[in-house]
Structure 1
Amino acid sequence: MSLLFSIREIKIPYFNLKFGIVEIDTTFVFFVIGLLIGLIAFHSLKSLFVVLLFLAFIVFILLHDFVQILIAKTFSLKLRKFIIFPFGTKKFYGKDFDNAKQEFIYAFAGLLVYFVLMLAFAILGLTVFSGVWPETITLQNTLTSQTFDFTLMDFPLFFLFWVSFLLFAFNLFIFAMPMDGGRLVKALLTIIFGQYSANKIVPYISRVITLLVILAGLFFWDIIIILIGLFIYYTTVKELREYEILRVLEGKSVKSFMKPCDLIFNSEQTVTDCFKEMKKTMIPDAVVTFDEGGFGVIDVEEISKVSKLYWPTTKIGTVAKIVDGVSERENLAFVAQYMVTKDLEIIPVVDACKTLLGIIKRAEFSDYIKIHKIL
């Protein structure tokens, strides 16, 4: 299977796992490269520990997601896209759960995966295998700084137990979306107070949790905890925004919002030529076509990131974001959700033969959402 490379991301197009499309985000690739460089450059136990910790986290998170995808499938939620980030994943189903009970079961199943892993490693370490579990543990500094003074390296089963425990605790006690704990709270609030009230309460809970995590990081003077707090805030804002998109646009098709594509560039054209055409037509976004097939999108903001000295020699295809064209029959809620996550202003609409039919503009459905979200 071939890989398509672009400046900002490595994508695996059409890698169908029966329930969806898998995509590797740029940050994941750069993070892995950084880990490998650190391991090669320093040859230290600490570098090896970080690599093993990262691998364990990723494997357990993917197992957690696999179970949740199966649960979602029983609720007739088809996975549309699956994006892998350094410290987690993002799943797109194209629509929301039918009721709060389904969302509760979905979140509980994810937590159950971590709990079962934690319990299994504890039983194996304490009863089945002798001498593989530490008798005494000394916690050094904070949870994220020199934890257990490399006790984790000396006792592999305890290492795996600790990773599953961290994931379980983090997802359960961080009552913010899109963590499992946040979904449980949202589902319970929906059952008790109704969906409208729950949607009003959850953002406030998420902001309080974010503030507490950041304050804890400042108290311990631990940059990792502070970054986790900022990460929670970022994911919470995006999750609530995407829920709003699903609620307003669910059931609407791409065709109803499709517009003609007024500006199309070939990937071999230079940035200078493309910008001149954008300036002439006063159109800030354009579709980019590639001779070997496929599409990209470009806007003036992306062009501005390239030094003007290189505009005459830089091909627009090397600057454009590579995207998959969407069908005119596609669910608009899923497309809008994907565009917001990938920060796309436009996306091409194609037919079964991959012929360009038009585009979807983010500004169009954004205005629609602003008007209809209060209804």
Structure 2
Amino acid sequence: MPRSIPVATLRGTVIRFHWTFVLFISAALVAALLTSGPAASGTLLALITAMFLCIILHEFGHITAARLFGIPTPEIMLLPIGGLAKLRRIPLEPKEELAIAVAGPLVSFVLFAGLILILGRQPDWEAIPTFNQDQFNLVEQLAVFNLAVGLFNLIPAFPMDGGRILRAMLAVNLPRPRATWIAARIGQAIAILIAGLGLFAGNPILAVIGVFIFFAAQSEARIDAMRNAIGGVSIGQVMVADRPRLKVSDPLLNAADLILHSDYEEIPVIEMDGALAGFLLRTDLDDAIVQFGPASTVRQAMQKDVPKMAVQSQADKAADMIEAGASAVGVIDRNGHFEGLVTKSTLLDALGVNSAMWPDHDALSHKPFEEQLKA
């Protein structure tokens, strides 16, 4: 099964189903069919479809706000725990991040208010978790769902909107790295409470959500520290230039041999004139061979819409792109020819050098990587 399935494109943003989302929906429908019959399964399908339409609207709240600040939004990924709008770059201005983060929950609260007006009464809170067929009301269920989504996303922990709202508010008076560090630690403390509550209450889903939030907060802090460590240097100083390359006309079997005999997660794919065409990801290889056949070319399997930066560009911009969801950033010269690439691991290497050279300070107070290179 592919990692994700594109299902629609809306206003230039691709909506994708992650494979875990497809698995989750399938399992839920089969369980409802076996335990309660076809009618219950159909009702559940209608409810899940409506819920995820609301999630898409929530994510388009973020997207609309991001576009007001000139930030492209290439895709939305739907996961079992909700949606994720991927931005081409992370907003660094507090007011921009605050506006984008608030927009999603605001949409959910507006949907809640509109559905309550349609319902014409307060929801029956006791009927919601039971999914009683005799008392089922789609409008009522959706109203409570949107209220829950809006409130849950205001929890001040990454990757929820509340974590970004907290960081934006702290960044008004603090340096962004310090604001991120504080917000991440608060988020991790909340994650521990959520996981502990899930274990105490015998709710494994809540425990898993707590663990997910904990590591997401940790990742957010590391990426921001990474950006701080490489501030001021060009991307050419942190890129990897000696990565093996594939041509667009190479057969997938050649690509399989190259990837399987290395530990690389992404291989740059080059046009015949030397221009960067895209990246072939290890995670896409098996699916591509099954879908297109081993004799097909790399062009058919590669990711074409990849971020590119000029070799003179600032490296922290690449960190923004990777934080926003890019697996790698291609580095090109003024003629568009491939020079190298930057991944999360290469940036973490820069952070590691920074930590090694300044062991007496934490990542938030390191001298910029540019000063290290001059030393």
Compute the TM-score of the two structures, normalised by the length of structure 1: 0.69
Please name the residue that 2:75 is paired with: 82
RMSD: 4.5
1:228-243 matches, cutoff 5 A: 228-243=209-224
CA separation of 1:69 and 1:195: change in aligned 2, threshold 3 A: same
- Where in structure 2 are the equivalents of 1:259-270 lying within 5 Å? 259-264=241-246, 266-269=250-253
Q: What aligned pairs does 1:295-374 form with structure 2 within 5 A after superposition? A: 295-297=278-280, 322-324=302-304, 325-329=306-310, 333=316, 335-336=318-319, 339=322, 344=327, 357-362=338-343, 363-371=345-353, 373=363, 374=366
Q: Give the superposition deviation at 1:205.
A: 0.9
Measured in 1, the distance between the counterparts of 2:144 and 2:318 equals 38
Q: Note if contact 1:189-1:198 (Cα within 8 Å) is conserved in structure 2.
A: yes
* Distance in 2 separating the partners of 1:57 and 1:219: 28
Shift of 1:242: 3.9
Give 1:360 shift.
Answer: 0.5
In structure 2, what is the Cα distance between the partners aligned to 1:191 and 1:335? 24
Report the Cα distance in structure 1 between the residues aligned to 2:173 and 2:278, rounded to whole angstroms. 47
Alpha carbons of structure 1 residues 245 and 92: separation in structure 2 relative to 1, 3 Å = farther
8 Å contact 2:185–2:217 — kept in the other structure? no
Q: 1:65 aligns with which of 51, 59, 64?
A: 59
CA pair 26-295 structure 1, distance change in 2 beyond 3 A: farther
Of 62-71 and 326-335, the range deviating more from structure 2: 326-335
Letter in structure 2 aligned against 1:183: R
The 5 A counterparts of 1:56-135 are 56-74=50-68, 76-86=69-79, 87-99=82-94, 101-126=95-120
**Residue 163 of structure 1 pairs with residue 156 of structure 2:** no
Give deviations 1:106-152, integer Å, cap 9, x for gaps: 3333222222221222222226xxxxx76x5536xxxxxx8134279
> 1:177: how far off?
1.4
1:220, CA displacement in angstroms? 2.1
Could you tell me which runs of 5 or more consecutive residues in structure 2 were left unpaired when the two chains were aligned.
Answer: 288-292, 355-362, 368-375
Which secondary structure does the structure 2 equivalent of 1:97 belong to? coil
Question: 2:160 is matched with which residue?
Answer: 179
Give the TM-score of the pair, scaled to structure 2: 0.69
Q: C-alpha separation between the residues in 2 aligned to 1:160 and 1:283?
A: 44
Matches of 1:175 and 1:103, distance apart in 2: 14
SS at match of 2:126: coil
Query: Is the aligned partner of 1:54 residue 2:48?
Result: yes
Query: Judging changes above 3 Å, is the alpha-carbon distance between structure 1 residues 105 and 264 closer, same or farther for their aligned structure 2 residues?
Result: closer
CA–CA separation in structure 2 for the residues paired with 1:264 and 1:323: 13
Q: What code does the residue aligned with 1:123 have?
A: L
1:199-278 mapped onto 2 (5 Å cutoff): 199-245=180-226, 247=228, 257=239, 259-264=241-246, 266-269=250-253, 273-274=257-258, 278=261
Deviates more, 1:196-205 or 1:237-246: 237-246
For residue 154 of structure 1, the aligned residue among 105, 121, 136 is 136
The one-letter code matched in structure 1 to 2:126 is T
2:85 aligns to what SS in structure 1?
A: strand
Quote the offset at 1:202 in angstroms.
1.4
Equivalent position SS for 1:359: strand
1:138 aligns with 126
Equivalent residues of 2:309, 2:330 under 8 A apart: no
Counterparts of 1:185 and 1:272 in 2: how far apart (Å)? Answer: 44
CA contact (8 A) 2:167 2:179 kept: yes
CA distance in 2, matches of 1:289, 1:32: 38
Between the aligned partners of 2:294 and 2:278, the Cα distance in structure 1 is 18
Q: 1:194, CA displacement in angstroms?
A: 5.1
Within 2, Cα distance between the matches of 1:80 and 1:251?
26
- Give the aligned partner of residue 130 of structure 1: none
CA distance in 2, matches of 1:238, 1:321: 29
> CA-to-partner distance for each residue in 1:315-338, whole Å, 9 max, x for gaps?
7979x9732344343875565455
Contact 2:4 2:16 in 1 (8 A): no
Rounded to whole Å, the distance in 2 between the matches of 1:188 and 1:25 is: 32
**Contact 2:59 2:83 (8 Å CA) reproduced:** no
Gaps of 5+ in 1: 1-5, 128-132, 140-145, 307-312
May I ask how many residue pairs the two structures share in their alignment? 339
What percentage of residue pairs aligned between the two structures are identical? 20
**Aligned-partner Cα distance in 1 for 2:232–2:32:** 49
